[in-house]
Amino acid sequence: MSDLIRSTAAELAAKIAAREVSAVEVAQAHLDRIAEVDGSVHAFLHVDAEGALAAARRVDDDVAAGREVGPLAGVPLALKDVFATEGIPTTCGSKMLEGWVPPYDATVTRRLREAGVVILGKTNMDEFAMGSSTENSAYGPTRNPWDLDRIPGGSGGGSSASLAAFEAPLAIGTDTGGSIRQPGAVTGTVGVKPTYGGVSRYGLVAFSSSLDQGGPCARTVLDAALLHEVIGGYDPMDSTSINAPVPPVVAAVREGVTGDLSGVRVGVVTQFSGDGYQPGVLRSFEAAVAQLKQLGAEVVEVSCPSFDYALPAYYLIAPSEASSNLARFDAMRYGARHGDDGTRSAEEVMAITRDRGFGAEVKRRIMIGTYALSSGYYDAYYGSAQKVRTLITRDFEQAFGRVDVLVSPTTPTTAFKIGERADDPMAMYKADLCTIPANLAGTPAMSVPSGLSDEDGLPVGLQIMAPALQEHRMYRVAAAYEAARGTVLASVPELAGAR
């Protein structure tokens, strides 16, 4: 594998700016890598080689002309196929949007282009971001580069797998209940969910509007921070966007790599342990906590009792909002149209289209959400779930009154085998047990690799959570931890397609 493929985003950007290598060379190396291994991994749904090389040439022209370029100019990136991209298909992993080419860019897409980031293509995902394994994609599953028989997490498994397979040094995901962090944990990569409203949702196809949040995915904490600062910030096109400066996450990483966490109080969430947690994951987490102590952090136990109700609350709120958001895909306003042979009524065409266009998991959640919002059940289900959400937010507020950050395992287990939980929705949903509370509260959280499980040799993630708009706290802790223990991707097995 070439040095260009293994280099970090920060290293590549520095080499491109110094004219040690061209952005075109970097882009071509990654396109070649995709051609070499993606037949095995299936991280991408669409590769835009022509567009990527054209974007790289523009960066090279700017560098040659002495024009100032951004900190990630010329660096390739894999974009989750839930963001609108002008001139490039956007499917959300669904047959309902098959063939749709948006006439506009999402704000995240636009900011990437303006920063000179080279978009390689669109990555695979669970349909409409509903899933924890990327098995729910209408275009087939993505495979974990650590073990091609295992899942890469979900819903953003394509983005995380592209990083672990060295197909891209950067990626973008979305996190509604853990869909950035959980894939990061099971692929040995870094995934960050910013504060809700910290990254624009304009042009992000909605699943659950009060929970969805785009964020950076990378192989190092510094690369994630650099990408965070590119895509973050206020956007008047998004009514939920926060009009506040992006937290100083890159500066926090620079501070963290010194390895000194003296004065930092770390809270261990007691609810995230016990039954259902793989012993190897818990041992890895305990080792991570011990490492934070060695770096000077003060570690205390913190109880957040309402977290025990986060999973059921989430699976009422998210499906309810999904049933509303996906109502627009009805063959009349948006999406595909099936069964319109001139003899059927509009209602019949709608029914046929939604039956053929949506997969089983999307249908399941639409039905759950529609039921939860129905007359006579709204207060008992959706209303009660929102009350639980308030209690979870209060638990976070009380915890952050005592500590600077909270930590937990990112996922209860390592990557499971493809098909293993396909017939057990509850087992699938429990993959997000640790990640959901931060979505319900809107607070930032990230997953950083914490080594390999001593049971199966697969990656484990350490979750770090911070108060709203305090992302720099978790980035500092993550950078210190990463500097102390190193990355895990050096030991990823060689892919069969690359031999």
Q: How far apart are CA 195 and CA 469, in angstroms?
A: 6
Q: How far apart are CA 52 and CA 100, in angstroms?
A: 20
498 confidence band (pLDDT: 50, 70, 90)? very low
Answer whether residue 442 shows pLDDT above 70.
Answer: yes
What's the mean pLDDT when you consider all of the chain? 96
Q: How far apart are CA 202 and CA 110, in angstroms?
A: 10
The strand pairing partners of 239, in sequence order, are none
499 confidence band (pLDDT: 50, 70, 90)? very low
CA 98, 99, 100, 104 torsion: positive or negative? positive
Q: How far apart are CA 476 and CA 493, in angstroms?
A: 30
Residue range 413-431, pLDDT digits in tens: 999 999 999 889 889 999 9
CA–chain centroid gap for 458, Å, is 19
487 confidence band (pLDDT: 50, 70, 90)? confident
Active-site hit among 7, 15, 22, 80: 80
Specify the number of domains making up the chain.
Answer: 1
Q: What CATH number corresponds to the domain at position 217? A: 3.90.1300.10
Instruction: Please tell me the predicted confidence (pLDDT) of residue 493.
Output: 73
Q: Which tokens belong to 366?
A: 């639409």
- Distances 401 to 302, 406, 472 between C-alpha atoms, Å: 11, 11, 17
Answer whether residue 331 is part of any domain.
Answer: no
Q: How far apart are CA 310 and CA 438, in angstroms?
A: 10
Which range, of 131-140, 373-382, 436-445, averages the lowest pLDDT?
Answer: 373-382
Instruction: Please tell me the predicted confidence (pLDDT) of residue 496.
Output: 45
Instruction: Give percent of the chain with pLDDT exceeding 70.
Output: 98
Would you call 80 a catalytic residue per the annotation?
yes
Answer whether residue 157 is part of any domain.
Answer: yes
Answer whether residue 385 is part of any domain.
Answer: no
Answer whether residue 297 shows pLDDT above 50.
Answer: yes
The strand pairing partners of 282, in sequence order, are none
Q: Which domain holds residue 170?
A: 3-303+395-498
Q: How far apart are CA 482 and CA 257, in angstroms?
A: 8
Residue range 266-284, pLDDT digits in tens: 999 999 988 899 999 999 9
Q: Which tokens belong to 310?
A: 């986060």
Answer whether residue 31 is part of any domain.
Answer: yes
Q: Letter for the amino acid at 483?
A: A
DSSP letter assigned to residue 45:
E
Answer whether residue 253 shows pLDDT above 70.
Answer: yes
Count of residues in the chain: 499
Would you call 155 a catalytic residue per the annotation?
yes
Answer whether residue 325 is part of any domain.
Answer: no
Burial class (CB in 10 A: 0-12, 13-18, 19+), 78: buried
Q: How far apart are CA 133 and CA 111, in angstroms?
A: 28
Active-site hit among 133, 155, 200, 320: 155
Instruction: Please tell me the predicted confidence (pLDDT) of residue 275.
Output: 84
Q: How large is the C-alpha radius of gyration of the chain?
A: 21
pTM above 0.85, yes or no: yes
Residue range 116-144, pLDDT digits in tens: 999 999 999 999 999 999 999 999 999 99
Q: Which tokens belong to 171?
A: 């990626």
Answer whether residue 478 is part of any domain.
Answer: yes
Answer whether residue 233 is part of any domain.
Answer: yes
Residue range 198-238, pLDDT digits in tens: 999 999 999 999 999 999 999 999 999 999 999 999 999 99
- Distances 283 to 27, 56, 482 between C-alpha atoms, Å: 39, 44, 17
374 confidence band (pLDDT: 50, 70, 90)? very high
Instruction: Please tell me the predicted confidence (pLDDT) of residue 1.
Output: 67
Would you call 160 a catalytic residue per the annotation?
no
Could you give the 3-state DSSP secondary structure of residue 217? strand
325 confidence band (pLDDT: 50, 70, 90)? very high
| 3-state SS track over 143-192 | CECCECCECCCCCCHHHHHHHHCCCCCEEEEECCCCCCHHHHHHHCCEEE
Answer whether residue 323 is part of any domain.
Answer: no
Supply angle C-alpha 433, 439, 440, rounded to 5. 90
CA–chain centroid gap for 305, Å, is 26
Answer whether residue 356 shows pLDDT above 90.
Answer: yes
Q: What is the mean pLDDT of residues 171-181?
A: 98
